[in-house]
A and B are shown apart, each in its own frame.
Chain A
Amino acid sequence: MKLPMWRRWQREELDEEIRSHIAMAVRERVERGENPAEAEVRVRREFGNEVQVKEVTHDMWGWTWVERLWQDLRYGARMLAKSPGFTVIAVVTLALGIGANTSIFSIINAALLRNLPVPNPQELVVVGDPSRVHSLSTGSPQTSIFSTDLYRELQRNQDVFTGLAATSDLSGAPTVTIDNGAPERIYGRLVSGNYFSVLGVNAVQGSVFTGEDDNEHGAKPVVVISYKYWKRRFHQDANVIGKTIRLDGYPLTIVGVTPKEFTGEVVGDYQDMWVPMMLQPQVMPGRDYVHSQTSYWLTLIGRMKPGLTFAQTKSQLDVTFSRIANSGFASKYTKSEQDDLKKAKLEVYPGGKGISGFRKRMSEPLVLMMLVVGLVLLIACVNVANLMLARSASRQREIAVRLAIGATTSRIVRQVLTESVMLACLGGTLGLIVAQWGTKALPFMVPNRSGEVPLDTSPDPVVLTFTFLVCVLTGILFGLVPALRARRVQLTSALNSEMRSGSVSGGGASRWSAGRILVAAQVTLSVLVLFIAGLLMQTLRNLQQVDTGYERHNLVVMRIDPRVAGHKGSNYIAFCNDLLQRIRSLPGVTSATYSGNGLFSGSESDSGIVIAGQANLSEKDRQVFNDTVGPNYFSALNVPMLQGRDIGPQDIGEHPKVAVINEAMARKYFGEQNALGQVFHVDDDEHVDIPLQVVGVARDIRDHSLTDAIGPRFYTPVNLQDLPGEIKFEVRTTGNAESVVRDIRGVVKSVDPALKIPSINTLDGLIDDWMDSQIFVAQLSGFFAGLALVLACVGLYGISAYSVAMRTRELGVRMALGAKPRDVIGMVLKEGFLIVLVGAAVGVPAAIAGSHLLRSMLFEVTSYDPRALTVSLTVLVAVGFFASYLPARKASRVDPMVSLRYE
């Protein structure tokens, strides 16, 4: 054994010391007159077992465990190499199990656990709602997202941050052209001048924004680009600083490039560039949020002063905010808005992990997936444990020999465990590779706004540590069973040649051997996984069949913003009507309409209303969701009118005079009375003299969620008073959505080439986006259920084959005594079935109990959903039957004479 230099030197020294001891003892005896040869013999005998003395002395140095480990590792490697079939199957099984866990954990790490790559992320604080990443609000002040002046006021009055920055989405599908090239869609953020200094990010080329580039007085036309964008579009050209790009036509000079690992403060969305927020009106023509008092578009990020805790910061901010709410600053708001402001609580969260819309939606599903892959790994462990058990049976002899020459049982247990951990680590290494490929595939199953989730899931130290721990635990887990078995090996019977067939000590012949119990456990775990998958898939199916109240297929939704092309006021309405006419006359279009909020488009409006004759409505009851819609809105969507009429073209005009309400609103506010003819108005200064008369009651429809209860809603015709910004066109098609989409794009281009289309989708596509987390868990759990089933099948087959092989003699005897092949098959099948039965008996109640935990992710599925249960059980029984049948058939075919002679 090759030892490190200094260890060898230590041993040599000890050898010499002992040699000199013996030499001195011999010399003394010789001096006393003994024969030198005799003296040497006597001295050596007196000295005792030299080797043993050396061993014990070596122990004193305390390094023995390292040497022993090394020995165990080499021995284990040799053993594994000796049975390549076993090793390959075990490693692949483990790779699948460990790889799946690493995959999911990488996503969890990237989305939920990892800090932003900035110095001292624990000092960062988000003011506002960290999940409202792409939000824009108009109307009354709120504390989840901020207006420019509220931001500045907060910035001026706060004393807890070394800096408070603001960020917002560069919305509206911005495109960038470089040197008159083709426009490319980019993703970016509008940020305040102190954004980079608050986060602590420095440029790798050029420099980042300073307070001079953007402050309350204005901004320079500059832009900072990301490393990825620099690589993609400029091929890491060092001369990029000073180059000009055009963002929707507006020229910006590149002043810096951010480091490779920095992709912005939004997790789950990569950013190409950062633009000073004060340039917003220039880069988003037609919309001015910077100077608008009623536009809420900023999320704030601050860095706490050193020494402050999060709790302190939060309470100080609350004080500051209430001061602002009660100060002269608030006097520009209406009375009710001021009251709201005074009652509002600032939303403050730790900001070290950035902001993310993706995170909130995916937390629960990801944790659930972690549980599922954990179960799959357990199933894989059981498989490998069984494999090792079968192998250990053939190693009894080797173990017996080792015991006979003096090894302790604990040493043998240690060695078996070392071998299994080694196996697990091999599987884990392969699993890492599997995970790399798997994780790249997974995020595409988790779509977000931009269509992909560029989470950085490359393995980082956290993931590698996790994988290593999983390997070690896995190895110990499945190694424990054969290791403990090894302890019980009895020397005499093991050395006896009888060992090789028939009775394995420790009970291969007993009904409930370790192997059988393990497989039953596998069945239990598989029931769990199958049941969970069944529930989730059923949920998805239920969601897909929810009645939305209108025909949801064959509907195309387009979002555009006419303001970008300069349309304002009555020109805006005329433009929309013109476009509507053109779209209606396209082939393949049965009807079309437009609306401010539309269907599943992520925007909502709510307003307080005052109903004539109902003076004492509560605060909450006064808020009603609403929409402004185009002519024939309901008939275009095929929503039946229960009473009265639809909004007509004659209603579109300067002031709204009529409204259509939905069933829920009619029921809530007018009860038994006839809702038609009732009058109400929106409760604010601009609408107080604009009464709305109810001219129609429409069926309740689902317009933004498949699962929420449908609340009251009213629809007013699009009018100059409440001009929507971005408007949605809903187009009913006869079938081929693709060609209609193409035609619509063509129409828009012909009407106004300057107009961009931020998005155009089928409603089915939008609803799928809404359901993305449910689709994710259903698909993934289905995949893992399949994997679990394969592993369980392999396990069951293995144990059947093994037990049949062990009992070849017994079966031979039975058949010689007259048993028919049919009986033998029946016997083996019965045993296999018994294992499945026991496993299922434990698994089913566990699954039902466990499914209670899934409550929040299920939809219209009971926790003991009979369909999922029956399917799971049927599949398992079928698998069990199939897995036991093959070995059974093989056994029944064996010639009794051959099996009797089998040794």
Chain B
Amino acid sequence: MTLSFLIMGASVFLVAAWVGALGAGLAARTGYSRIERVSPGAQAAFWLLLAAAPLVTGLAGLTATLLPSFGLAPDHCLTHSHHPHLCLNHPQALPMAATLIAAIGLARFAMVSATELRLAWRSSQVMAALDPIAKTIGDLRVLPGTLPSAFVIGLLQPRIYVSQETLTLAAPVFEPVIAHERCHVAHRHLLVRALARVLGSLHWPSVARELERRLASSQELQADEAAAGAVGDRLLVADSLLQFARARVGTPGGALAFIDGGVAARVLALSNDAPHQSSRPLVILATAGVIAVASTVAFPTTVHHALETALGWLH
């Protein structure tokens, strides 16, 4: 397999992926208000699916284009000479456009992956700094400190850290906190966010950032719902949130006068009844996705020709 074939393959994948990214961006815009009717866990799945959409369409497009090379679809090359071809049977010179596209895609993916590796290393450094001063109680690592705080850190082996002050609070206040953090650990939320960021390298940067932000918000709401289920009272979780937020207002740097959309949105969500469990938006999205992918398999020649024509336009 030659280098030019690999570069052509990468460029075909990326063109198909960017079509998927465009579709995902449009779906995100139209789905924002509707998606709030489903449970936070389903919302999080929706944002992750949209983040993965370019990968799926990229693989589907690449597969459709390669089928003739393996005799699984009619030979395409001899009948269309007006655009480049990705073909094992008819090797061609590499168009400049393909090299440029592959370079852009690979550079972006490498940059995002390197950032994730750096962040994972920094997380491990911070945990190495905290662990010696933390006391382990069950699955909790308790840090000295007079400010109530609780957080999860670690991608592959997430850990819950809480301040000593948190454990001195009344049970109705700290139990929702611990349940909330345990949900993050159980569902590997930080790893999922990292995966979404890497998948986001195939999206337009502003779309990738918005998808990650929406995913993180959904995960926080999901953890709040888990806490509400654990303690049996949604308003207790809201009370805990407010108590923690109020403790931070008094700290240095806590005097800025703007509303943290995160706390307000979460308290409002907890103050209402649990969201309607309708899964219709997800069913619609999943159906559209299946139809799109099935089309590439059912009509490989059309997809194949379209992708290679697009490469020809860019040349």
Instruction: Tell me whether A and B are bound partners.
Output: no
Identify the B interface with A (CB < 8 A). Answer: none
Identify the A interface with B (CB < 8 A). Answer: none
